[in-house]
Structure 1
Amino acid sequence: MAQTEQTGPPGAHPSPSPSMAEGGYIYADDSVRKKYYRRLKRALTIGILLAYLIPITILTLYFNHKFSESVRESASLHLAAVTENQRNSIALYMQKRIVNVFNLFHPKDFNLTPIQDEMDYYLANLVRADAGFVDIGFINPDGIQIGYSGPYPHLLNKDYSQEDWYVALTTHPQSYIVTDLYLGLRRMPHFTIGVKQLIDGAYYVIRTSLDPDNLHAYLTTTSHGKRVDGFLINRAGQYQAVDADFGQLLSQAVFIPPMDRQSDVTEIAFNGQTMLLSYTWLKEVPWCLVMWQPRDVAFREMERIRVSMVTGSAILVFMLMVVIWLIVNRVIRWTEYVEHDRAELKTQLYHTHKLVAVGQLAGGVAHEINNPLAIIASEAGLIRDMLDERLGLECTPETIIKELDEIDKAVYRAKSITMKILSFVRRTDPKLVPCDIRQLLEDVVTGVKEQEFSVSNITVERDYDPNTPELMLDPDLMRQVFLNLINNASDAVGEGGSITLRTRMEDGWVRVSVADTGVGMDAEQVQKVFMPFFTTKEVGKGTGLGLSISQNIVEGFGGRIEVESRPGVGSVFTVVLPTSS
């Protein structure tokens, strides 16, 4: 195709400017420009905010998740530590109580048939050690309780030989036993500590009862942490020591820990609350110690920290949004100012290119105008001769009017040429109107270029699609594009060449092709064809701006310019325009 004037890679899009509306179309309405920048500001603000907020949100969620895990782990570790401490306290408590009972066998004056005063003395000593002791009994080898002191005197001389705990104590090697909570002969919940001593080949047993409420009170007074409470359960899952608000002694516990795990921390629901539980099995007795705490209480301090973190993050995000909005607002204002100046420069460049094109056409225009001027001069001379009586020419009003008509025709022809030149050169603001692409091509070919083609013997062929629709374009700008492409084509073909103008409809796009049979271009030249100041013409015959300007104009209408060229065969420049904005 034609020798080129401009470039930038085919299909490249210019940056938005005040001369482009959304979708790329050139506009003249200032309200549309403002609307475009409002949308640009909104899109830029949202885009930047998302770019900052998405990572912040992801990190916040991640650290919140980790923080929640840390809170749970911290609360669990704290409660587990409290439980372990309580287990050690209970172990020590039970060991002391067992030792207290064992010590009763060792006084020098210990009597195997104690009298009532002695039994009362023994009980008083035990109560001084721990108020939880309820009573005391001395059982002979036959299993008969021959000594008793306490609030249930009817237990004196009771037979314990068939009691499970007594049988287990006397038949196993262990020297003491702590029973589960049971009602027993007194029909009151209690648990028994029994110790045996081998005397003269027979086992004597001292048994004492302990109040479970006292044991529970010991649990709560030695607990650590806010609203931390605990209870004891046996292997059957029955309460051995418990707060009355949480359960009843010997009733089934709300939580039964697995026996295959020594200790663990878990959660349960109780009375509409979630409880954090920690449990551990005791060694001295077959019981499990369970410490519990409301989860909201366990997490309260950490939740305060979480709220502070979330509040701080929210304030940071708000400040970030304000800063981003201020920055974007300033950048958009600066961009509007820069693009306004850029649009002015581009308009001046378009106008300058028009003037360059007019200069290139000056020779053809001069010849074109000379023809009607010659006719006017000839007709004026003929009228003078007709008015000269010496020449004897016919001089009637009819013959003079006939010659004046020829002068009028020549004047109108010259006027038409000058009007076409002025319409091309005149600097106007972009204005979108319905345009027939075929007519715009004809305006260029049959106007100022017609005589040039005739002199250079260049053939112009037309292949127009009759279904080509009208497009919303600025006619002056599109004539400038087509004139530049046709000028390049005529320079490329030289004398005797051929230029083909073609329009086609394809998938909602109008394709306008200008093909020539000229020298063509190689692949490297095609890559540079839209670069500013690149030209294949001889020095002094091209500015290298025509195609770059044409590309910007076409892209401003939402289209593009495609190039196909082969050396020695010719080139095809195709303007592709959307059928609707």
Structure 2
Amino acid sequence: MAVKRPAVFAELKPAESQSGETMQTETKKTYDKLSRKIALTVITVSLAPLILVGGLIFDQFRSIYRTKVYAHLAEVVDKQKDNVNNFLSEKLAEVQYLTRVFSYEELSDSKILEQTLKGMQQQYGRIFVDLGIIDENGSQVAYAGPFDLLNADYSKADWYINSRNKNTGISDVFMGLRQSPHFIITINNVNKEGRVWTLRATIDFLAFSNLVENIHIGETGYAYILNNEGVFQTRPQANRNRELVLTPYENIQQPAHAEDVTIQLNKGSDGEKYVTVSSMLKNGDWKLVYQQNMSDAFSAMIRSEFFTLVIFLSGGLAIIAMALYLSRKLVTHIQLIDDENELMNRQMVETGKLASIGELAAGIAHEINNPVAIMIEEAGWVSDLLEDEGKEMSSYNEINRALEQVRTQGGRCKDITHKLLSFARKTDSRVMNVHLPDLIEEVIEISMQQARYAQVNISLDLDREMGPVRASVSELQQVFLNLFNNAVQAMEAEGGTLSVTCRAENGEAYVSVADTGPGIPAANLGRIFDPFFTTKPVGKGSGLGLSICFGLIHQMGGEIDVESGVGQGARFNIRLPLPSAEIEHDVEKEV
């Protein structure tokens, strides 16, 4: 019954056409009804639990808001950590730059060092307090700054001892000889005599401390920096309870965007609860800590509870909208599958018709082959008679020429029918080594007569030295025959040239089939390989040829594309993988 359907579609009468439209309308109504049922089911199943758990929304909202607050605090601390690290890195780089520009002898000159300090203060502000050059014994041999620190001995200073084995160093904040909080950046280098010397720069404590004090959220939130011993590296808040002891009781999961940040909930010795957010600085030597009373941190949540109802309603509307969207999308997908099944059935019908036509053509070719063989044999017999008895005839030469022509043309007919039969019988889809130039010539012979009738010249550019491809002979024959016939049919109105190129290129077999026909409009290029798409008149094309070519080439692991434009002809490019030497060797061993 499936075979009869295309004929019915091709010969629709007006009443049948109306019946088809009615059938399409009924089908659309069925799909719409299915879509509504799916949407109603999804909405019911989704909203029922939402309504049942409506009493828990308040708690859920509080949980979400807490997560949001934690994420925000973590982001603030993470960004501030980057700011502090960047500040330290910049200052370290600025001091390190001096050792590249000036030599030890130049920096040891107090005048040059003084000018350098003034230049840095003019460029970067009063962040750099002073500069000093320290020899290998820890004695400051040159100094520029507001203090009297020339010849100061730092050999026993902790910051100097800790920096001796490092190229660069940043000390903790300490009081030192000047009796005011500060920290020092050190750069160790070697002079011409091979002696180690150190360039030290003091950073303004207030400028550094202000970086951290800028973190101020709410009424009780503030930040500070501690070293590994728990010593403050920035100024503590004036209203901070120095005797406050925090006891952690819960660790909060780290947000994905701030993996280096730790969030803890603490109970204070004053009876309050605190949230503490911390992150390591300066390669783990310092810790940036943000601390805030929990009641202050979540005060805005009380004002946000009103929006819980809005979120609830918005969620319900979103569920309804999503249910409608998904149901429509699902039904559309089902409809697409049904259409694809219908298309596949039609393709199977057309394929069956093509197979029947091929068998019929093979039978006709076989029947023609027998009389052609007899004709050639009889022409040979007449020629033999002429040789024996007809040499004296005045028209002997003319008759002999005619007989020779009969034998030649008969041989051509026999050769054509032989190749047609060979093509029709090669239905084996097994993969084997195929020499493309020989296969192309064989298929060209089958299309030669149609090309002559259409006044189409055939140009072949075949690289006979290229290696074979691994493919099915019958499938490749089908591909090339479709492409050659399409090209000839495109040029049959005015004639033209069919150019076929075959060569190895970049490890692939490249085949190009080009014609000088009218070309393909740009609007059709995207659909040229779609099943049943054709620009030929009704009855002259099924629209399956290029679709089958596309499927077969991709099944072989290759690619096929088209280049064309109106009035520019068309070029179909095929690329098939060439087997590697190892694969070819294995195939030869198997054979």
TM-score computed with the length of structure 2 as normaliser = 0.38
For normalisation by structure 1, the TM-score amounts to 0.38
**Which of 1 and 2 has higher RCO (CA within 8 Å, sep 6+)?**
1
Bigger radius of gyration among the two? 1
